[in-house]
């Protein structure tokens, strides 16, 4: 395949930027639709779901629909409309990244429910409209509206993952801004990408709010397990390079020991190192190491 010219790369970059902008505009309209559905459900007196039962170990991958997994994880001749069923045969949970880019429609959530057959649990990455575009500025209603996804999923709902950009550094005001808007009826996980958030004041405030601090294995982030609630949540991105690292058994044994010592009631662990399908291999390895739990 001939190397792409600089001009072609710039054109592709521009098209990608246009698509992202259209997607961000669509997210605003989708959020309005979700708000209307939530209000209607409240008027009908529909129950608010507490999600999956407490307890247990949930290990999976951050996303399941990767084209480059075909032939590495998914059989080369397996139709793509059967990929989820294949994934579900190997894991009982997934962290959905797509909702971060595209606010889910009610129809999309119903598809998630239809496609699963067993005791499967979804964790949902919260839309960037809240975390990256608005940056938690006046987003309390948006968070409640997005939370309606949990009511639709019922016991198939795991956690809501709020990932912040690395440009947001710790400040007491920002910490308060985030925690006061989280819906206490949900399992709320917050992932920071700047090391300034790993401090005792943050941990204390998270404990008081009942929020879950996301422990991260990622470049230039503190390599430690943080427990601020009965649940612990860990994302494995790679140690020195984002999304590319293949964890050794020795590296995952360190994390396995931390998890065992934590005394957590519920464990959530997701692998985001999708390159070369390392996430699959590493998730299975951690599952084996934690088998006694």
Over residues 18-46, the pLDDT tens digits come to 888 888 999 999 999 999 999 998 877 76
pLDDT at res. 1: 46
Q: Is the CATH code 3.30.70.20 the one for domain 6-289?
A: no
Instruction: Provide the 10 A C-beta neighbour count for residue 230.
Output: 14
The pair of structure tokens assigned to 287 is: 């599952």
Q: Which stretch of 17-21, 55-59, 90-94, 131-135 has the lowest confidence by average pLDDT?
A: 17-21
Environment class of residue 275 by beta-carbon count within 10 Å: exposed (0-12), middle (13-18) or buried (19+)? middle
The model's confidence at residue 121, banded by pLDDT at 50, 70 and 90, is very high
pLDDT at res. 53: 85
* 252 pLDDT more than 60: yes
pLDDT at res. 11: 76
* 236 pLDDT more than 50: yes
| CA 245 – CA 175 distance, rounded (Å) | 31
pLDDT at res. 4: 64
**Mean pLDDT, residues 142-166 taken together:** 96
The model's confidence at residue 3, banded by pLDDT at 50, 70 and 90, is low
**Mean pLDDT, residues 188-198 taken together:** 97
């Amino acid at each position: 395949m001939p190397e792409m010219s600089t001009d072609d790369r710039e054109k592709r970059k521009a098209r990608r930027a246009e698509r992202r902008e259209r997607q961000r505009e669509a997210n605003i309209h989708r959020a309005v639709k979700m708000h209307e559905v939530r209000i209607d459900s409240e008027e009908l007196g529909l129950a608010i779901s507490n999600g999956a039962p407490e307890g247990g170990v949930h290990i999976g991958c951050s996303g399941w629909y990767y084209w480059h997994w075909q032939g590495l994880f998914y059989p080369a001749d397996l139709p793509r409309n059967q990929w989820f069923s294949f994934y579900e045969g190997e894991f009982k949970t997934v962290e959905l990244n797509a909702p971060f880019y595209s606010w889910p429609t009610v129809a999309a959530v119903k598809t998630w429910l239809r496609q699963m057959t067993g005791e499967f649990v979804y964790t949902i990455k919260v839309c960037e409209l809240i975390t990256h575009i608005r940056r938690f500025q006046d987003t309390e209603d948006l968070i409640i509206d997005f939370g309606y996804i949990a009511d639709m999923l019922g016991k198939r709902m795991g956690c809501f993952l709020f990932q912040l950009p690395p440009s947001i550094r710790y400040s007491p005001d920002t910490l308060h801004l985030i925690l006061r808007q989280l819906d206490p009826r949900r399992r709320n996980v917050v992932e920071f990408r700047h090391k300034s958030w790993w401090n005792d004041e943050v941990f204390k405030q998270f404990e008081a709010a009942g929020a879950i601090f996301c422990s991260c294995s990622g470049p230039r982030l503190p390599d430690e397990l943080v427990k601020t609630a009965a649940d612990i949540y860990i994302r494995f991105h790679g140690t020195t390079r984002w999304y590319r690292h293949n964890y050794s058994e020795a590296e995952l044994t360190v994390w396995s020991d931390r998890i065992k010592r934590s005394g957590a009631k519920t464990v959530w662990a997701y692998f985001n190192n999708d390159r070369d399908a390392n996430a699959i291999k590493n998730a299975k390895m951690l599952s084996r190491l934690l088998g006694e739990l």
